[in-house]
Each structure stands twice: as C-alpha cells, then as structure tokens.
Structure 1
Amino acid sequence: MLSVKDLSVIFHTRRGAVDAVRGVSFDVAKGEILGIVGESGSGKSVTSYALMRILDAGGTIKAGEATYSGIDLRRAREHDMRDIRGREISMIFQNPRAALNPIRKVGHQIEDVLRQHARATRYDARDKAIAAMEAVKINDAAARYEAYPFELSGGMCQRIVCAIALACKPRLLIADEPTTGLDITTQKAVMDLVRDLIRERDMSSILITHDLGLAAQYCDRLIVMKDGQIIEQGDPEQIFSQPQHPYSRKLVDATPRAGASVRDLLPAEARAPEPRIVISDQPLVEVRDLVKTYAGKSGPVHAVKGISFTVNKSQCVGLVGESGCGKSTTSEMLVRLMDATSGQIIFDGNDIAQTPARGFAKDPRRAEIQMVFQDATDSLNPRHSARQAIAEPLQRLGKMRGAALSVRIEELAGLVGLPLSLLDRFPHQLSGGQKARVGIARAVALDPKFLILDEPTAALDVSIQAVVLNLLVDLRAKLGLSYLFVSHDLHVVRLLCDHVIVMKDGEIVEEGPAAQVMSQPQSPYTKSLIAAAPKPPKRAATIDQLETSDAQHSALHDQRAS
C-alpha cells in the first residue's frame, strides 16, 4: 500500500541545513500495523509529516520516493494532496486538544472533513458526523455533537480526533503518539478501538510512539529510528528478546517491566548499587477525611470524597487511578495550592488545612512541601534561564543573594546532574530530560521534607525516564525525602514506590504495599488497571546480565536482612 525509498528531509535554519531524515526506506502492507519507535528527535514524526506533505516552514524533502497505491506523494500537486489527506491517508495527532478548534463544536469539526471530501451534504452531514462518533464508541453521540473540546475529557477528545481521522474511511491511518498523556485504561480503549477499526475496514496503519511496550502489543512489525535513520527493524518479539543494535538494546532495557529494578533500566555501565533507604514508622503526612466539592450547574460535584491515608518519613507512596479520579485534586490540596472543603492535612504534627491556600505562600512551612509538575516545559517560565528558575525559590523564600545564591544554584545543578554549562540556557534550548532536572532542582532547592511528583516522567522518552527515576531514588536517599508519586504508569509505580493507593471516583478503593497490590490486587478496579497496562515481551538476558542481576539481588537481600 505504501512504499518509501531513500527518503531524506532537511530543515533550513539560521545555522545551516539540518538533516532530519536520512535515507529512510520501508513498506507498509495492506492490513498491516507498522510501529515506528525511537526517542524525541529521531525523525519519526518528520517522516510522517513528509508523507502527508505537511512539513513545517523550512522543511524540504531533499531526496527519495514515497508511493501510495501508485501515487507519487512527493511530486503530487497540492490540489491532489488536499484530496488525499483525510480521504485516503489520515492522521491522528499527538495532542488532541491542540488538534481541535477550541471555539468550534466537535460535531461541526467532523462535518467539516466530511463535506471537504464530498462525503456528506449539508442535509446529511449531522447524521454522518454522529455516526462517525458512534463508530469510535462515544456514548450519547448526539449530545456530545454539541460539545466544545474544553467540555470533554482528554480521552474523549482523543476519540473525537479518531472520529475526524476515520470519518472518510481512509485506507491508511498514521497515528502519531496517539495515547501520550492518557491514563492507562483510556490508552487501552483508544488503541483497541484503532486496532479493531483497522481490522474491520481492512486498513493499514503506522503507529509512531516512544512507548516500546505499547508498540510491541499492537504492531505487526517495528522500525527503530535514531538520528533520522532506521537502525533496526523486525518482528516485535524478536526486537524485544534479541535486539541487535546497541541503541535498540538501550531502549528495550529502559522500558519499565515486571521483575526489573529501577537500576535495571540504565545501561550496564551506568548501574551503581541501589541506595539503601530506611523507612521510618513515624508519619510525616496524615490525611484525614479529606473532601473537595465544587459547585456544578446541576448540583455539587464531589471530586474527593473523604479519603484518609498516611505518608511516613522517607517513604514513597504511589497514587494511581484514571483521569478524573481525584489524584491531582488531592495533590493540589496537599501542596496547599487549593483549599479543602473539609478534613485535615496533618504535616509534621500540624494541621496545615487550617491555613488558607492563599496565605500559605508566606507560611514558613511552604519551603518544606514542594511539587514537581507533570509538564516540565509548561512549568518553567520561557523567559527565565535555568539559573533563574532554580534561583527563584531561593530568593523568594530563602532570601538568598549574591555569592551564596550562585554557589547554591551550582550545588543544586550538580545534585541533579545538570551540567553547569546549561544553566544560562532557556527552556526551549533544553531537552525534555534537562528541563525535568531543572524542575527537580527547583523543587529541592529549599531542602523540603515532602515532595509531590505529579506524573514527572509522563512525556519523557524511556531512556530519559530511566535516568530521571534513578535520580529521584538517589535524591530520596541523600536528602531523606518523602514522596507522593502520582502516576498512571503502573510499571513505574511498581519500580519506585513502597506503598500504593488506588483511587476511583474520588475514593480510595485499595491500598497496601506496592509489591502486594501489583501482584495480588483485591479490588476489581485495580485488577482492570493492571490488566490494561501494556506488557512488553520479555528480554532475553545474556550470561553477563544474569550474573550482574544475581549479584545485585544478593546485595539487596543482604541490605534488607541487615
């Protein structure tokens, strides 16, 4: 159906030409789901944009051929490409909210595509748009037709994007990171839906992702890209069990999986012994009957319904659940960005819920409770350098100035592994992992006791995620921190957390030791979360890896015994 040969794409920048894609060749057979995996900057998305001829300004297809059902996509006229896009080849973009028009009803946006390609008239467009919404399993589609994107959840917006992409019944679907930011059950629902529609309609698909576990579960064949080139391709089982290229091995090893430790995610040469952490039996944070209620159009909305839990000193507690379960609301109340409707938050013996959120900014305890936000890019001021971002809490709350401030900033950069040469760069000049390090350095600048981590690795590549997770483990040991780790990635929670709390509809449905909850869940809801998590094929271990793993296991057993 699609044949790509020696495709090369360059971008013209102020500093000269940049080779984004270099001599890429692959085929997509009818009915096949091809996965393209690799880290940010590997050329995955640029390849798909080149096929659709929607490259950013400055981007040019330098060489190569791309043939779709006998049509030369590279040389086709723009008039013909407008007809091909949506009708023959369609695309699901990474960020559904950014892909949708925020001031236009979602039903009308589906109509636009149908009428653009003469698949509907003004008389039947509404009915066909509703049918397209029903095809992607949107309940009460007639009512949702009138909704604006901001009135829908992330998962529902992603379904609308799928409906738009599939409305004209294309033959090839390109899905570019279609599940980034979605909770684990919504991710499974969206991917199952896409897979089933591809089978029902005898389509083909290209799935672009940095989640190797997801790619292995849904793709017939995988391509691994690095620096604009294909470095390996083959059957998912083969690439996971016996990756041939060192980069593929690095990606596979960095993918969180059952039975691995947080150190196992790192390359063998970078694995230091995991630090020993002694968890105190003294509580640092006690949450008692915490309630948050909002006023809604049709009555009160109960976001958090009287939950209670404890985080001990030096303990890492995981908070998991689907979008809308109350995780983020709970986090914001604990960090005192939001007032509770009722209940207590006992921090180090004092009920901080009694201090209004607005007034807590000047409270001496503000420095002791900090947060690392989900999106490192959005949480950093684009006009402030890394140095200024780290300095801000030190200046505002620590009252530091001059030489002492400079020394502390460089000390924190060293602590989180951020090269000093990057301190004067702005966020857009830093990679995702480097921005995450700036966010963590800023959070620990004032020596807090309690750190809330809200999906800190959700948008990171697996190898960068592995480094950040290991950094969090080391900082917890060095600084004696307690963590509340909010996530929907159960594999990461299993690696990092001692204790797990599972939330659903504002309530705690299960909690207990992480190993116990993950291996023997009691709640049907927890069982459904674990069942929804992608399960990558097992990695075939080498003799050296087995010996290293045995040695690490013995050392860890000795530490726990002592």
Structure 2
Amino acid sequence: MLSIKDLAVAFRTRRGEVDAVRGVSFDVAEGEVLGIVGESGSGKSVTSYALMRILDAGGRIKAGEATYGGVDLRRASERDMQGIRGREISMIFQNPRAALNPIRKVGRQIEDVLRRHARADRQNGRAEAIRAMEAVRINDAAARYDAYPFELSGGMCQRIVCAIALACDPRLLVMDEPTTGLDITTQKAVMELVTDLIRARAMSAILITHDLGLAAQYCDRLVVMKDGEIVEAGDPGALFSRPAHAYTRKLVDATPRAGASIRSLLPAEVRTPEPPRRITDEALLEVRDLVKTFAGKSGPVHAVRGVSFDVKKGQSVGLVGESGCGKSTTSSMVVRLLDPTSGEIRFEGTDLAQRPAAGFARDPMRSRIQMVFQDATDSLNPRHTSRQTIAEPLRAMAGLRGRAQGQRIEELADLVGLPRTLLDRFPHQLSGGQKARVGIARAIAVNPSFLILDEPTAALDVSIQAIVLNLLADLRARLNMSYLFVSHDLHVVRLLCDHVVVMKGGEIVEQGSAEQVMTAPADPYTAELLSAAPKPPAPRAAA
C-alpha cells in the first residue's frame, strides 16, 4: 500500500540546512500496523509529516520516494494532496486539544471533513457526523455534537479526533503519539477502539510512539529510528528478545515492565548498587478524612471525599488513579496550593489544614514541603536561566545571596547531574531530561524533607525517564527525603514506591504495600488499572 524509499528531509535554519531524516526506507502492507519507535528528535514524526506533505515552511523533502497506491506523493500537486489527505490517508495528532478548533463545536468539525470530501452535504451533514461519532463509541453522540473541546475530557477529545480521522473511511491511518497524556485505561480504550476499526475496515496504519510497550502490543512490525535514520526493523517479539542494535537494546532495557528493578532500566555499564535507605515507623505526613468540595452549576462537586493515608519518614507513597479521581486535588491540598473543605493534614505533627493556602508561601513550613511538576517545560520560566530558576527558592526561603548562593547552585547542579555549563542556558536550550533536572534541583534547593512528584516523567522518553527515576531514588536515599508520587503509570509507581494508594471518584478504594497491590489487588478497579497497562515482551537475559 505504501512504499518509502531513501527518504531524506532537511530544514532551513539560521545556521544552515539541517538533515532531519536520512535514507529512510520501509513498506506498509495492506492490513498491516507498522510501529515507528524512537526518542524525541529521532525523525519519526518528520517522516510522517513528509508523507502527508505537511512539513513546516522551512522543511523540504530533499531526496527519495514516497509512493501510495501507485501515486508519487512527493511529486503530486497540492490539489491532489488535498484530496488524498483525509480521504485516502488520515492522521491522528499527538495533542487532541491542540488538533481541535477550540471555538467550534466538535460535531461541526467532523462535518467539515465529511463535506470537504463530498461524503455529506448541508442536508445530511449532522446525521453523518453523529454516525461517525457513534463509530468511535461516543455515548449520546447527538448531545455531544454541540459540545466544545474544553467541555470534554482528554479521552473524549481523542475520540473526536479519531472520528475526524476515520470519517471518510481512509485506507491508511497515521497515528502520531495518539495516547500521550491519556490515562492508562483511556489509552487502552482508544488503542483497542482504533485497532478494532482498522481490522473491521481492512485498513493499514502507522503508529508513531516512544512507548515500546504500546508498540509491541498493537503493531505487527516495528521500525526503530535514531538521529533521523532507521537502525533496526523487525517483529516486535524478536526486537524485544534479541535486539541487534545497541540503541534498541537501550530502549528495551529502559522500558518499565513487571519484574524489572529501577537499576535494571539503566545501561549495564552505568549501573551502580541502589543506595541503602532507612524507613522509620514515624509518620512524616498524616492525612485524615480529607474532603474537598467545589461549587458547580448543578450543586456541589465532591472532588475528594474522606481520604486518609500516612507517609513515613524515608518512605515513598504512590498516589494512583485516572484523571478526575482526585489525586491531583489531594496533592494540591497537601502542598498547600489549595484549601481543604475539611479534614487534617498533619506534617511533622502540625496540622497544615489550619494554615490558609493563600499565605503559605511565606510560612516557615513551606521550605519543608516542595513539589516537582509534571511538565518541566511549563513549570520553568522561559525568561530565566537554569541558574536564576534554582536561585529563586534559595533567595526567597534561605536568604542566600552572592557567593554563598552561587556555591549552593553549583552543588545542586552536581547533585542532580546537570553540567555546570548548562546553568546559564534558558529552558528552550535544554533537552527534556535537562529541564527535569533543573526542576528537581529547584525543588530540593532548600533541603525539604518531603517532595510531591506530580507525574514528573510522563512527558519524557523512556531512556530519559529511566535516568530521572534513578536520580530520584538516589536523592531520596542521600538526602533522607520522603516522596508522594502522583501517577497513572503503575509500572513506574512500582519501581519507585514502597506503598500505593489507589483513588477512584475522589475516594480511596485500596491501599497497601506496592508488592501487595501490584501482585494481588483486592479491588476490581485496581485490577482493571493493572490489566490496562501495556505489557511489553520480556527482553532476553544477557548471556
């Protein structure tokens, strides 16, 4: 169906032309799901954009061929490509909210595609759009037709994007990181929905992802890309059990999975023994009957109801559940960004719930509790260098100035593995892993005893995630800190946490040791979360 031969893509920059893709070749057979895997910057998305002829203004196809059903896509006119896009080849983009028009009803957006490709007209457009929504299993599709993207959940927005992509019955579907940012159960629902539709309609598909577990579960064949080139291709099972290229072995090893240890995610040549740590029976944090109620249009909304748990000194507790379960609201109350409606938050014996969130930034206890945010890019001031970002808490909470401040900043950079040469760079000049290190350095700058980690590795490539997780494990032991780790990725939680608290609908449905909850869940919801997690094949043990 699709044949790519020696594809090369280049971009014009201020410093000259940059080759983003070089000599890429692969085929996609009818009915096949091909996975293109690799880390950020590997060229996998650029390859798909070149195929669709939607490269940025500075990009161009420098060489090679792209043939779809006998049509030379590289030399096709823009008018021909407009007919091919959506009708023959369709695409699901990474961020569903960014892909949708925020001020246009979602049903209208589906109707736009149908009418553009003459699959509907003014008279039957609404009915056909609703039928497309029903095809992707959107309940009460007629009512959802008039919703705007901001009124829908992330998973529902992704279903709308799927409906747009599938509305004209394309023969080839390109999926660019279609589940990034989705809950693990929503991810499973979206992927199973799409793969069911692919089989039912005899379509072909390309899945672009950095999640090897996801690719292994849903793809017939994998292509591994690094630095704009294909380094390996083959059957998912064979790639996991016998990776031939060192880069593939690195990705496979770094993929969290059942039975892996946090150190086993790292390349063998850099692994060191995990440092010893001491967990005491003394509670650092005691949360009792925590409640948070918000005012809603139809009455009060109970976001958190009767939540109780402890975090002991030196312990890491995982707070898991889907979006909307109340875990982020709970962590926001603990870190005193949000006031509880009722309940206790006892930290080192003091009930912080009695101290208003509005003034807690100036409270002496603030330095004892710090937070590492989900998106390192969004949480860093784009106009501040790494040095200025790390200096902020040192100046505000520790009163450090001048040489003492400079020395402490360099100590922190060394501690988190950030080269000192990067301290005077701005966020846009850093990689994702480097930005994560800056965020961690800022959080530990004033020697907190307690860190709240809000999905700190969710947006990172697997190998960078492995490095950051091991860094957090080392810092926990070295600085004798306790963690509250908020996540929906149970494999990651099992690697870093001793105790797990599972939330659903604002309440705790189960809690216990990580080993107990992960291997013998007592609640059906926990079992559902575990079954939804992608299960990559186990790599072959080293000889």
Q: TM-score, normalised by structure 2?
A: 0.99
Q: How much does 1:24 deviate? A: 0.2
Other-structure match for 1:240:
240
Matches of 1:294 and 1:144, distance apart in 2:
24
Q: How does 1:190-205 map to 2 (within 5 A)?
A: 190-205=190-205
CA distance, structure 2, for counterparts of residue 443 and residue 57 of structure 1: 39
Partner residue, 2:12: 12
String of CA shifts for 1:380-436, please: whole Å, max 9, x gaps.
111111111111111122221111111111110000000011111111111000000
Distance (Å, rounded) in 2 between the aligned partners of 1:57 and 1:442:
37
Provide the C-alpha distance between the structure 2 equivalents of 1:158 and 1:279, rounded to a whole number of angstroms.
Answer: 42
C-alpha distance in structure 2 between counterparts of 1:155 and 1:270, whole Å: 38
Structure-1 residue corresponding to 2:436: 436
Residue aligning to 1:312: 312
Question: For 1:320-341, what per-residue CA distance to the aligned partner results, in whole angstroms no more than 9, with x for missing partners?
Answer: 1111100111111111111111
Equivalent pairs, count: 543
What letter matches 1:471 in structure 2? L
- Find the residue that maps to 2:86 and give its secondary structure: helix
Provide the rounded CA distance (Å) in 2 between the counterparts of 1:381 and 1:447. Answer: 22
1:396 aligns to what?
Answer: 396
Shift of 1:235: 0.2
Match of 1:551 in 2: none
Amino acid at match of 2:145: Y
Residue by residue over 1:181-229, the C-alpha shift from the partner in whole angstroms, topping out at 9 and shown as x without a partner, is 1110000000000100000000000000000000000000000000000
Residues 27-73 of structure 1, C-alpha deviation per residue, up to 9 Å, x if partnerless?
00000000000000000000000000010121010000000001110
Shift of 1:144: 1.1
Residue 396 of structure 1 aligns with an amino acid whose one-letter code is A
Question: In structure 2, what is the equivalent of residue 40 of structure 1?
Answer: 40
Which amino acid in 1 is paired with 2:519? S
Q: What are the ranges of 5 or more consecutive residues in structure 1 without an aligned counterpart? A: 544-562
RMSD (Å) for aligned C-alpha atoms = 0.6
Cα deviation for residue 118 of structure 1 reads: 1.1
Task: Provide the secondary structure at the position in 2 that maps to 1:118.
Answer: coil
- SS across alignment from 2:378: coil
Aligned partners of 1:107, 1:67: CA distance in 2, in Å?
33
Equivalences for residues 405-484 of structure 1 within 5 A: 405-484=405-484
Q: How does 1:112-511 map to 2 (within 5 A)?
A: 112-511=112-511
5 Å-filtered alignment, 1:531-546, equals 531-543=531-543
Partner amino acid, structure 1, of 2:301: V
Q: Distance in 1 between matches of 2:303 and 2:487?
A: 18
| In 2, Cα distance between equivalents of 1:239 and 1:426 | 38
What CA deviation, in whole Å up to 9, does each residue of 1:71-110 have, x standing for no partner?
Answer: 1100010111111111111100001111111111111111
| Paired position in structure 1 for 2:512 | 512
CA-to-aligned-CA distance 1:323-366 (integer Å, 9 cap, x gap):
11001111111111111111110010000011110011110001
Shift of 1:123: 1.1
Aligned partners of 2:139, 2:342: CA distance in 1, in Å? Answer: 34
* Aligned position for 1:524: 524
Alignment partners' CA distance in 1, 2:225 and 2:127: 42
Letter in 1 for 2:69: S
Aligned to 1:63: 63
CA drift at 1:367: 0.8
Give how far 1:134 is off.
0.8
- Measure how far apart 1:17 and its partner are: 1.0
CA distance in 2 between counterparts of 1:117 and 1:391 reads 56
| Letter aligned with residue 16 of structure 2 | G
Q: Distance in 2 between matches of 1:124 and 1:388?
A: 58
Alignment partners' CA distance in 2, 1:391 and 1:289: 37
Residue 510 of structure 1: how far off its partner (Å):
0.4
Give the partner amino acid of 1:2.
L
What secondary structure does 1:196 align onto?
Answer: helix
For residue 160 of structure 1, give the secondary structure of its aligned residue in structure 2: helix
For 1:372 and 1:535, how far apart are their aligned partners in 2? 28
Give me the whole-angstrom Cα distance separating, in 2, the residues matched to 1:147 and 1:429: 39
C-alpha separation in 1, matches of 2:122 and 2:214: 39
Counterpart CA distance in 2 for 1:122 and 1:381 is 47
Deviations for 1:231-257, whole angstroms, at most 9, x for unmatched residues? 000000000000000000000000011
* Percent of aligned positions that are identical: 78
| Residue 85 of structure 2: aligned partner | 85
Amino acid at match of 1:361: A
CA distance in 1, matches of 2:143, 2:92: 23
- What is the deviation of 1:16? 1.1
| TM-score normalised per structure 1 | 0.96
SS at match of 1:170: coil
- SS of alignment partner, residue 128 of structure 1: helix
Tell me the SS of whatever aligns to 2:303.
strand
Cα offset, 1:376, TM superposition: 0.5
State the match for 1:548 in structure 2.
Answer: none
Partner deviation per Cα, 1:136-165 (whole Å, 9 max, x = no partner): 111111111111111111111111111111
Classify the secondary structure of the residue corresponding to 1:346. Answer: strand
Matched, 1:2 2:10: no
Deviation at residue 299 of structure 1 after TM alignment? 1.2
Runs of 4 or more consecutive aligned structure 1 residues displaced over 2 Å after TM superposition = none
